[in-house]
């Protein structure tokens, strides 16, 4: 029988990434566990700072010991700070709303961690993401697909994976029905993290003030007072800093109005926040940048897709244009198109392309 590849498993200390090495061992793979050390000085107590924190490292180490697999903790603090955190701060300074998990996947997990995998002599990298990868013999390309269950699908945050990366990565959980099945498998394997709750916060922001306090400590100039204006340019109030707002926001505007007002634009160059009605938030055209064509080569003609502009949104019918610039044109207006967020297009279960909303 051919020898199965040696697999490096990214172990964050949560239930998902702990079940993966257990699954692979049962299937006869040799497994090495790797945990990224990324916690930052901004975290007052790194033991409880989300995934990849000090406490998470301890959990990953316990699981590796129970499964009797080698386990390494690799220092990615500088890489994480220079890519994920610096971009996070820079994007808010530009009046945009970034998705740091997408940046982490793109620049840390599937760039830096793949390099580490090779240095350890492994053939494949496995993570606890819910998605699937298939090789299309007809085109010779690898395709990124939604998870089989659909409820926990994470293909949206993985859209930026290049062909070479897709060829080296495994997503064992993508074949499961849902998270409940993952927890059931964790209990059957007697893993100590079987009932550990999911981390919902931004992993490098652990202060009580949340991301706004984090940004204020990094770039206090982003929180200088400025004008709150309507769509005609009329000043109707004052804000406490452009970094405290995102497109679609209704609460915390500090002004009263006969009709509900929402943030529809942020202008850091003039230190202005523009507000308008719910109708002002709706548009059909979404221009993208830094696009990854996951499963196909971009063509001259537009293609029919279903796309979404935020993680928890139901994908909507649209046309995807590659030229003259990557653009999604939705059949029906979508609400709160937010610069800095991610748009991902699908054909059936397959990710066609994705990019940052410009």
Enter the DSSP assignment of 151: T
Using alpha carbons only, give the angle 27, 151, 146 rounded to the nearest 5 degrees. Answer: 65
Q: How far apart are CA 156 and CA 171, in angstroms?
A: 14
Catalytic residue among 8, 51, 122, 203: 203
Establish whether 104 is a catalytic residue: yes
**R_g of the chain, CA atoms, integer Å:** 22
- Burial of 1 by CB count in 10 Å (0-12 exposed, 13-18 middle, 19+ buried)? exposed
Q: Which of 8, 51, 101, 104 is catalytic?
A: 104
Which stretches does DSSP call E strand in 5-109? Answer: 7-10, 31-37, 71-75
Residue 317's Cβ-count burial label (10 Å; 0-12, 13-18, 19+) is exposed
Distance CA 293, CA 162 (A): 8
52 catalytic per annotation? no
Strands 71-75 and 124-126: unpaired
Closest listed residue to residue 194, CA positions, set 66, 39, 339? 66
**Residues tagged active-site:** 104, 203
């Amino acid at each position: 029988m051919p020898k199965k590849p040696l697999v490096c498993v990214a172990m964050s200390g949560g239930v998902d990434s702990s079940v993966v090495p257990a699954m692979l061992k049962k299937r006869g793979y040799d497994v090495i566990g790797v945990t990224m050390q990324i916690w930052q000085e901004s975290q007052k107590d790194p033991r409880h700072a989300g995934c990849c924190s000090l406490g998470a490292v301890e959990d990953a180490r316990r699981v590796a010991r129970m499964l009797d697999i080698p386990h390494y903790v690799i220092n990615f603090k500088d890489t994480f700070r220079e890519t994920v955190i610096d971009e996070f701060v820079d994007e808010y300074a530009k009046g945009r709303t970034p998705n740091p998990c997408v940046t982490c996947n793109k620049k840390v997990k599937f760039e830096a961690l793949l390099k580490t995998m090779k240095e350890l002599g492994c053939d494949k990298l496995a993570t606890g993401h819910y998605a699937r990868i298939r090789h299309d013999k007809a085109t010779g390309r690898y395709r990124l697909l939604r998870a089989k269950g659909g409820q926990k699908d994470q293909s949206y945050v993985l859209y930026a994976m290049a062909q070479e990366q897709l060829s080296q990565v495994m997503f064992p959980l993508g074949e499961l029905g849902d998270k409940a099945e993952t927890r059931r498998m964790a209990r059957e394997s007697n893993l100590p993290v079987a009932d550990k709750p999911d981390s919902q916060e931004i992993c490098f922001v652990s202060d009580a003030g949340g991301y706004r306090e984090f940004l204020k400590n990094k770039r206090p100039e982003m929180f200088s007072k400025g004008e709150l204006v309507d769509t005609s340019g009329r000043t109707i109030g004052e804000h406490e800093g452009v970094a405290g707002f995102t497109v679609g926001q209704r609460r915390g505007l500090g002004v009263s109005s006969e009709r509900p007002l929402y943030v529809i634009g942020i202008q850091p160059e003039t230190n202005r926040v523009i507000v308008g009605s719910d109708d002002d938030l709706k548009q059909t055209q979404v221009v993208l940048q830094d696009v990854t064509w996951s499963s196909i080569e971009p063509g001259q003609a537009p293609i029919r897709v279903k796309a979404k502009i935020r993680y928890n949104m139901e994908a909507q019918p649209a046309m995807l244009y590659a030229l003259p610039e990557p653009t999604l044109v939705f059949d029906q207006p979508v609400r709160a198109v937010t610069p800095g967020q991610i748009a991902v297009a699908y054909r059936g279960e397959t990710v066609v392309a994705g990019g940052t909303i410009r």
